[in-house]
Amino acid sequence: MIAAADRKLALWNIGVAYVAFLIGTLAGLLQVFIRNDKLVLPAWLDYYQILTAHGVLLALIFTTFFIFAFFITGMSKSLGAFGPKVLLWNWIGFVVMLAGTVLATVMIVSGKASVLYTFYAPLMASGWYYVGLALFVVGSWIMSFALVGHYMKWRKANPGELSPLFAFMTVSTIILWIIACLGVVATVLFQYIPWAFGWVDTINVELSRSLFWYFGHPLVYFWLLPAYMAWYVVVPKIIGVPVFSDALARLAFILFILFSIPVGFHHQLMEPGISNFWKFFQVVLTFMVIIPSLMTAFSMFANFERAGRKNGGKGLFGWFTKLPWKDVRFTSLFIAMAFFIPGGAGGIINASFQLNEIVHNTLWIVGHFHITVGTPVAMTFMGLTFWIIPYLTGRKFSKTMQKLAFIQIGTWTVGMILMSTAQHILGLLGAPRRTAFSNYNNHPSALEWFDGILTNHVTMAVGGSILFLSAMLLLYIVIMSAFISPKAVEAHEFVEFPLAESDKQATPKIFEDWKVWIGIAFALILVAYAVPIIQMIQDAPPGSKGFITW
């Protein structure tokens, strides 16, 4: 077990994450029923208000707090207990993040910020919504720096040594996050806040969109890398093998830092203000992340095969049946990975320049992120939750709990297959995303979308309802593990943090020379962004004043 003070910190982060999860999934449930006209909202509540809450609370709040809980636990486990300064700054960061969360949520609930989690100008929310988001990011930075401080102390005490793999990956993810947030901080601080409080009259819309997406794409890697961490270091331990290759694991993370930032224009392929040259240039850079993704896929399968053979699996695929399927910590993460195969393939389509025309802003995109962040990432976090809370509270994770956990991930899988398949197909047919119920005045084209076996008004609602039940079951498991399950007494009853051995003997030292990688990252960002951003500022049209259209 790690130090008590560190455990408390991690548990508070998990607690906030799951409160956000509760409200967020409830919003999701409402959405599926509003979209098919089965639910009519009272006048004080609006579809887009709910959708804003869903996006913000699940994609930003749930993920980030959970990620920090995972980092805190793993950093304390692999580098030793936090000192008083690291603890203090972590708590300060946590409180700032929480204050930002509460402020932004209050603004959404009171109807002053129905601008969705992307808050595109010139839709103008209350200035306090943007202040809330800024506090959230600043709080996450404070926590990040506190963790980096803990890491630096370890490096100083162990000169010339590579850090443990978990710490290396945490620091990579934090570097990615800090560089990514520069864009959103710049636009919120220098564009949105002065404009929303009326200190300036207008906003440069195209610039704000580009700064947002400079942040928005690496944001998805900020969700994904902690899931990859679990796949790289937790899964091998559960299945009983060491990390496949320490060097390749580190190299993959470095490549993710380099190639996930200078690529935001792939979210802006259909819009004016950016020349085709720069759009295509960033599309090419986008595809470079395929390289570390393939490396990751290889490592995962290599792990499975080694483990399966060790347990007596024979023949080309015999090892597959010998994996520990009865262990929910493994099966949950395996399902998460399996979802990422169609998820990643869909991503390739989305980013493919002209193919994007067919799917941009359709329900396809909604289907896509529910089988990337909504399942691979979220289900990895569920799989971690099953052991990390008992690990932190010293409570037991009983057989009954394990059974419930299996039901939980099983229902999430079924619900998500139903909902996301319907969304993918509806999107290909042309149904738009981010819309309350509408049949476009009974236009035949619109009626046709909902005519299919999987694309009728029922499938998505059934899927969404199953998902919601699954979410509630998860919350039951969370509460039991946090407060109610009996305390472990005997040694074998304690739940462990599965952390695989990683042999770093053959790993080049340069992999941990951050100056080099941060330098290259900024060089790539300059190449990809400097010219188009300067053009956006120099050739800017007169700015836009704010609009409140909700």
The residues that are catalytic are 217, 221, 368-370, 433-434
Beta bridge partners of 255: none
Q: Which of 118, 60, 28 has the alpha carbon at shortest distance from 412?
A: 28
Tokens at residue 54, please? 């869903």
Q: Which of ligand HEM, Cu ion, other proteins, none sits in contact with 217, Cβ below 5 to 8 A by type? A: Cu ion
Q: State how far the Cα of 222 lies from the Cα of 336, in Å rounded to an integer.
A: 16
Contacts of 524 (CB under 8 A, 6+ apart): 258, 259, 261, 262, 285
| Contact string 222-251 vs other proteins (x = CB under 8 A) | -----------------------x-xx--x
Q: Which of Cu ion, ligand HEM, other proteins, none sits in contact with 542, Cβ below 5 to 8 A by type? A: other proteins
Q: Which of other proteins, ligand HEM, Cu ion, none sits in contact with 149, Cβ below 5 to 8 A by type? A: none
Does residue 150 touch Cu ion according to CB under 5 A? no
Q: Which stretch binds other proteins (CB under 8 A): 25-33, 162-170, 485-493, 534-542?
A: 534-542
Does residue 435 touch other proteins according to CB under 8 A? yes
Does residue 508 touch other proteins according to CB under 8 A? yes
Tokens at residue 37, please? 């006209």
User: Other C-beta atoms within 10 Å of 361: how many?
Assistant: 14
Does residue 117 touch ligand HEM according to CB under 6 A? yes
**Half-sphere exposure for 182 (CA within 13 Å, toward CB):** 10
Does residue 29 touch ligand HEM according to CB under 6 A? yes
Alpha helix ranges (H) inside 158-270: 165-187, 193-196, 205-229, 235-239, 246-259
8 Å CB contact between 257 and 522:
no
Kindly state the smallest distance separating residue 47's Cβ from other proteins, in Å.
Answer: 8
Does residue 123 touch other proteins according to CB under 8 A? yes
- How far from 550 is each of 74, 123, 190, CA to CA, in Å? 44, 9, 24
Residues 435-464 that bind ligand HEM (CB under 6 A): 435, 464
Nearer to ligand HEM, 86 or 467 (CB): 467
Q: State how far the Cα of 474 lies from the Cα of 470, in Å rounded to an integer.
A: 6
Q: State how far the Cα of 280 lies from the Cα of 270, in Å rounded to an integer.
A: 12
Per CB under 6 A, the list member of 339, 397, 468, 497 interacting with ligand HEM is 468
Nearer to ligand HEM, 291 or 472 (CB): 472
DSSP 8-state symbol, 125:
-
Determine the size of the site formed for ligand HEM (CB under 6 A).
Answer: 27
Kindly state the smallest distance separating residue 544's Cβ from other proteins, in Å.
Answer: 5
Q: State how far the Cα of 100 lies from the Cα of 148, in Å rounded to an integer.
A: 22
Tokens at residue 525, please? 């960002």
Q: Which of other proteins, ligand HEM, Cu ion, none sits in contact with 440, Cβ below 5 to 8 A by type? A: other proteins
3-state helix, strand, coil in the chain (%, to 5): 75, 0, 25
User: Other C-beta atoms within 10 Å of 540: how many?
Assistant: 14
The type of residue at 6 is D
**Position closest to ligand HEM via CB:** 28
Kindly state the smallest distance separating residue 283's Cβ from other proteins, in Å.
Answer: 7
Q: Which stretch binds other proteins (CB under 8 A): 224-232, 474-482, 502-510, 517-525?
A: 502-510
**Half-sphere exposure for 3 (CA within 13 Å, toward CB):** 14
CA 394 to chain centre: 28
Per CB under 8 A, the list member of 58, 205, 379, 524 interacting with other proteins is 205
Q: Which of Cu ion, other proteins, ligand HEM, none sits in contact with 48, Cβ below 5 to 8 A by type? A: other proteins
Q: Which of 420, 312, 329, 415 has the alpha carbon at shortest distance from 370?
A: 420
Per CB under 8 A, the list member of 197, 440, 483, 522 interacting with other proteins is 440
Q: Which of other proteins, ligand HEM, Cu ion, none sits in contact with 541, Cβ below 5 to 8 A by type? A: other proteins
Q: Which of 122, 123, 119 has the alpha carbon at shortest distance from 131?
A: 119
Q: Which of other proteins, ligand HEM, Cu ion, none sits in contact with 32, Cβ below 5 to 8 A by type? A: ligand HEM
Q: Is 197 helix (H, G, I), strand (E, B) or coil?
A: coil
Tokens at residue 71, please? 């980092």
Does residue 217 touch Cu ion according to CB under 5 A? yes
Does residue 368 touch Cu ion according to CB under 5 A? no
Per CB under 8 A, the list member of 150, 166, 206, 482 interacting with other proteins is 206
8 Å CB contact between 226 and 166:
no
Does residue 302 touch other proteins according to CB under 8 A? yes
Kindly state the smallest distance separating residue 26's Cβ from ligand HEM, in Å.
Answer: 8
Does residue 433 touch ligand HEM according to CB under 6 A? yes
Which residues of the chain form contacts with ligand HEM (CB under 6 A)? 25, 28-29, 31-32, 51, 54-55, 58-59, 62-63, 116-117, 366, 369-370, 373-374, 378, 433-435, 464, 467-468, 471
